[in-house]
A and B are shown apart, each in its own frame.
Chain A
Amino acid sequence: MLVEVTSNAAVLPPQTLHNSLHIGGVNLALCGQSAEEIRVNEELRPFLGDSSSADIHVSAEFVDELKTFPGNPQFDSGALWRVFSEKNSFTFDFVSDLLGSHPYKRLVVDRAFSSAQLSLSNTLLAPYAPIFPLEYPTDELLITNYLASRRIGVEVHGCGLIDSMAGGQLFLGHSGAGKSTTTRIWQLPRNPFILSDDRIILRLDGQQLRMYGTPWHGEAAFAEQGNAPLKRIFILQHGTHNRIRLLPKAQGVGEVFARSFPPFHSAEGLEGALEFINRALDAVPCYEFQFVPDETAIQTVLEFHD
């Protein structure tokens, strides 16, 4: 169930050593001079492809060490990375308390998120070999920023599954809202194709909203490459009974945005993500779904009509 996504992908030179990933309709090429520089982890392997062109071109290399980037960051994630803004590029520095104050990895990417240089500190990372240059959250940052900067998609916190009869179903929720539970409830009686139990990419194909599986799974560890059209979006809420309530569009946009992964470091990117969600909810309605965690929740969805 693949959809052709038009892009201005750059053709890779034939001699380049690279691994191509296809995530959310975006081709990402990880290029390097050695097998170590293009190594991908197990979670990404199902998303490997053989594309000879790339929407995002990442050139990876191991360097002796990385110095702390001068100046104040534009945004600090409060976790592993902070980003510095320059005229034509962003610099993401990855720092872990466990490895000291110097970056163990640096991603310099153009403002369109189409070309990136990834430098990895040999000094800090050698004891932890094998190293996967794109390991979380580098891969996810590249894809989500690429989508937001072009206003062509957004990643959301949700589980997405394709039921053989009912089609694509998307349930959004914060942690603890019941995404993994919902996935498990559907799994046995319906045996759906589960794209992800935690992270889904939304894109528009004309006026049709589609959801895409991602490698970044949740507790239940479902992560499949594939996509499906959507007729509606559900916002999960635990309840004492099953109830589906249509949300006003403005509230729906807010609820989806609150469960998305927008680029907080960029005003343009934030606006792009919000604008995309607004268009997505022109295509499909958004409902609050209060549910009880048993098979009656499935029946409620299957019997529901907009």
Chain B
Amino acid sequence: MSDNSEQRLKKKYEQPKITVISLRPEEAVLGHCKNSGMAGPVGTNCTAVGSCRTPGS
């Protein structure tokens, strides 16, 4: 294999990139209200429980 073909086969170096992906714990942890009136035995008044942080989608 000639030097030229070796060079052709070599992949171009790409510098590693860091991509930041944000987590939303208030959405990813089950138990917060998905929408109003959904969590717990007092679900119809869920906002009073203090756990509603993600109304709607």
Contact = CB atoms under 8 A, between A and B. Distances in A.
Interface of A: 77-81, 94, 96-99, 104-105, 124-125, 128, 131, 135-137, 140-141, 144, 157, 159, 173-177, 179-180, 197-199, 216-219, 251, 254-255, 257-258, 260-262, 264
B12 to A, nearest CB: 16
B41 A264 contact: no
B33 to A, nearest CB: 8
* Interface size bracket, B side: 20 to 34
Contacts of A255: 21
Contact of B30 (A251, A254, A261): A261
A197 B57 contact: yes
Dominant secondary structure of chain B at its interface with chain A = loop
Nearest to A128: B41
Given A79-B51, A258-B23, A135 B57 contact: no
17 contacts: A78-B26, A78-B51, A79-B32, A80-B40, A124-B41, A128-B41, A135-B43, A140-B30, A157-B27, A175-B27, A179-B57, A180-B57, A198-B34, A219-B57, A251-B21, A258-B21, A258-B24
Q: Shortest 5 CB-CB distances between A and B: which pairs?
A: A79-B31, A218-B57, A79-B51, A137-B30, A254-B21
A77 B21 contact: no
B1 to A, nearest CB: 30
Contacts of B45: 98
Nearest to B36: A219
B56 A218 contact: yes
Contacts of A97: 49-50
A159 B57 CA distance: 10
Given A80-B49, A131-B41, A218-B57, A251 B28 contact: no
Contacts of B49: 80, 96-98
Given A104-B41, A219-B56, A77 B35 contact: no
Contacts of B54: 175
Contacts of B7: none
A79 B56 contact: no
A272 to B, nearest CB: 15
B19 A254 contact: yes
Contacts of B50: 97
Contacts of B48: 98
